[in-house]
Chain A
């Protein structure tokens, strides 16, 4: 699972995480592009 999260934003990794039940992604401010906070 750690390997999968480390591969993000690879869509294949996101799909694999979804397939095993991950439904929520929490992103803290320091990881977000600046424009995300501008909106």
Chain B
């Protein structure tokens, strides 16, 4: 798949927050938690996330195929994480647009994976490309292209503490 331009030894701000073995990005997001998403792998400028197959995700009951929108959710989530893993300081990230191509139907009954690469970061914008697959990345059932706006530096903010330490007591406001 598309190789990230980030060198493997580049420091990236969220490595300690979202790196291998940390499930925070999925488990701290209610919807990702609700769907049972898991972070499989992260690295400089890329992320791999898994969405477990379940009957509630079906969009076409005749073909037992997962609804396209559920695949959008998986790719959107992996995209945000890939962008986070491409930044050298923690910043606010907002999706501007996302286009998903449905290359074929996903095989029923199998867990779904998404790998997204953030291949360019400018001062204000990050660009991503990604694929979704159930058996292997060489046979994707969907691909995507997206753009993200980068906002305020959040290093040391309540958001970073939230990500690092868990939900604040009593709903602290983002700084």
Indicate whether A and B interact: no
Residues of chain B at the chain A interface (Cβ within 8 Å): none
